[in-house]
Amino acid sequence: MTDLNNNYLLIYLSRFKSAQSFLKLPFLKSGFAAGLLLAVFICIALLSDSLGLSINEILPAKKIEKNKLSDKAGENSIFDQKEISSLFEKDFFYRDSPPAIFSSQDKDNSTMTVFTTLEPAIQKQMIRLFKRYQPVLAAGVIIDAKSGAVLAMGNYIKKPEAVDLFPERDGDYCLYAGFPAASLIKIVTAAAAIEKKGFTSAMTLPVSGGYHTLYKHQLGLKRLRFRPEQISLEKAFSKSINPFFGKLGIQYLSKEDFDEIAELFLFNMPLEFDFPVSKSTTFIPESSFEKAELASGFNTRTTISPLHAALIASLPVSGGKIMRPYVIDRVVSEDGKDLYSSSIEDLSQPINSQSLKYLSRLMRATTLYGTAGKSFYALRHSRIYRDLSIGGKTGAINLPNKQRRCEWFAGFAEKEDMHLAISLVFIHGDKRTVNPSLMAAELIKTCVKEQPLKTVAKKIREKNSSSG
């Protein structure tokens, strides 16, 4: 019988009511008719093995209700989230080489040992590259996509005045969701078009004018100025073509379609982590043009944190799940007692397995011939890294009312037992340094080199599998 792990059947039951109203079929208001239809779908799910279907292709994506997120720290320890984060000094993730294991004291001055999931060599290389390229401000996160363990998390500020760019920020830039998401939101829009409207990577739309502009005449809101060309979803994603995604937002995706997928990607809701993370947000469009701005990322009102960016980019190598991120493996008292122990758990499964295949293809195209193609050219053509699978999404936009440019790369890398997700955000000054995608390629090389050491995350997975 089909394995219904992760409570997929319960997820289906919880979403049946919303699907019922979406279909708008009057006879479903009858309790008997609705129950009969539900029974049919359950029978199909249970017979999926014999039909050669995946349970993930039959049942809808896993949805998390707002305000229902559990506090894992509270479940696994005597600490709450605030107390756990207080074990780390404020400049911990700004240092060149923060210790992966260190001693700390609680409010009662009791000494304890904190074991993190950080990989020192990867963490050190991240900060070293920040200092080499010297953007005005930078933040980066690398996670083990299968477990959610944070392998590196670092911040960099070139000048003290860079702090004034985001005066509302408090603490770690990696956890600050005030950065404009820019074209990273195209991951969500593409997923919505694939999941909700049946788009494939090969489906085309007519596009006229410049790829990286967004005018009303390009969206059909004014008289057409240029002869359109047919462009596939794969090309539009890899080249980050704004009018294509603007048309998706206006002509194909309803507000409900976009909002549901965005929530499954954990926008507009709390994000679980060992430390407080500000909420990534979208906005409510009030016109057709604003729908295009939202869907394409051509705005500064949709915001995201580097940690969240890494999580949404991890889907192709995480089995389609957004895992709960964590940086603390365990906390041990002086007498050897476990005061805190991490858990590995998924937070959401935004799209089904077939949709994930198309999304993975889009992200791989970005690093193959798209906006990050040049940055990953050497990596792709190296004999050492020829078995490496890489994908991602770039994004760039000027900060509002400031002469600064925000630039992103969020992506994944996979080879054998290595399943990484990485996000980097740079704030450039008058002189632009390098693309975050180029730095990402260099960091991936370091991760491949350190792979024989076995990451903390892999050890945790082995421990869980042996005990389970």
* 54 and 179 part of one domain: no
- Six-digit token string for 18: 């919303």
In sequence order, the 6+-apart residues with CB closer than 8 A to the CB of 305 are 174, 175, 176, 177, 179, 271, 277, 278, 280
Q: What pTM value is reported for the model?
A: 0.83
Q: How far apart are CA 291 and CA 299, in angstroms?
A: 11
With a cut of 90, say whether residue 450 has pLDDT above it.
no
Whether residue 192 is contained in a domain is answered as no
Output DSSP code: residue 249: I
With a cut of 90, say whether residue 116 has pLDDT above it.
yes
pLDDT at 224: 84
Compute CA 281 distance to the chain's CA centroid, rounded to the nearest angstrom: 13
Residue located via tokens 């041990």: 332
- Burial classification of residue 186, based on how many CB atoms lie within 10 Å of its CB (0-12 exposed, 13-18 middle, 19 or more buried): buried
Q: How far apart are CA 395 and CA 423, in angstroms?
A: 11
- 222-267 tens-digit pLDDT: 888 888 999 999 999 999 999 999 999 999 999 999 999 999 999 9
Residue located via tokens 């600490």: 79
* 170 and 278 part of one domain: yes
**Res. 167 pLDDT band, cuts 50 70 90:** confident
Torsion of CA 178, 182, 185, 186, to 10 degrees: -170
With a cut of 60, say whether residue 21 has pLDDT above it.
no
With a cut of 70, say whether residue 315 has pLDDT above it.
yes
- 332-373 tens-digit pLDDT: 988 888 888 888 999 999 999 999 999 999 999 999 999 999
Whether residue 237 is contained in a domain is answered as no
Report the domain count for the chain: 2
Q: How far apart are CA 367 and CA 359, in angstroms?
A: 13
Q: Residues, the chain, total?
A: 468
pLDDT at 268: 97
* 454 and 308 part of one domain: yes
Residue located via tokens 């995946």: 54
pLDDT at 53: 46
The more confident residue out of 385 and 393 is: 393
Task: Quote the domain boundaries for residue 129.
Answer: 72-185+272-285+288-467
pLDDT at 104: 87
* 76 and 170 part of one domain: yes
Whether residue 36 is contained in a domain is answered as yes
Other CB atoms within a 10 A radius of the CB of residue 254 amount to 13
Mean pLDDT of all residues in 264-284: 95
**Res. 42 pLDDT band, cuts 50 70 90:** low
The more confident residue out of 460 and 159 is: 159
Whether residue 195 is contained in a domain is answered as no
* 51 and 87 part of one domain: no
**DSSP sequence for 102-171:** EEEE-TT--EEEEEE---HHHHHHHHHHHHHH--SEEEEEEEETTT-BEEEEEEEESSGGGGGGSTT--S
CB–CB of 155/136 below 8 Å? no
Nearest to 140 by CA among 125, 151, 155: 155
* 46 and 92 part of one domain: no
In sequence order, the 6+-apart residues with CB closer than 8 A to the CB of 41 are 12, 58
- Burial classification of residue 259, based on how many CB atoms lie within 10 Å of its CB (0-12 exposed, 13-18 middle, 19 or more buried): middle
Mean pLDDT of all residues in 200-204: 96
With a cut of 50, say whether residue 286 has pLDDT above it.
yes
pLDDT at 433: 84
Does the CA dihedral 459-463-464-468 come out positive or negative? positive
* 157 and 293 part of one domain: yes
* 397 and 445 part of one domain: yes
Question: Which has the minimum average pLDDT: 26-30, 96-100, 112-116, 147-151?
Answer: 26-30
Output DSSP code: residue 297: T
* 328 and 368 part of one domain: yes
Whether residue 6 is contained in a domain is answered as yes
Mean pLDDT of all residues in 320-328: 96
* 277 and 340 part of one domain: yes
Nearest to 17 by CA among 37, 47, 43, 3: 37
Decide which of 16, 36, 60 is a domain's last residue: 60
- 410-419 tens-digit pLDDT: 999 999 889 9
pLDDT at 465: 54
- 55-69 tens-digit pLDDT: 444 444 554 443 333
Which helix (H) or strand (E) segment is 353 a member of? helix 353-368
**Helix/strand/coil for 212:** coil
pLDDT at 6: 37
In sequence order, the 6+-apart residues with CB closer than 8 A to the CB of 364 are 316, 389, 390, 391
Decide which of 39, 60, 81 is a domain's last residue: 60
With a cut of 50, say whether residue 467 has pLDDT above it.
no
Backbone angles phi, psi at 246, to 5 degrees: -65, -40
Q: How far apart are CA 429 and CA 224, in angstroms?
A: 36
The more confident residue out of 8 and 423 is: 423
CB–CB of 117/329 below 8 Å? yes
* 138 and 1 part of one domain: no
With a cut of 50, say whether residue 178 has pLDDT above it.
yes
* 293 and 432 part of one domain: yes
Whether residue 191 is contained in a domain is answered as no
Mean pLDDT of all residues in 155-166: 84
Whether residue 238 is contained in a domain is answered as no
Whether residue 234 is contained in a domain is answered as no
For position 93, which CATH number holds?
3.40.710.10
- Six-digit token string for 119: 């990989």
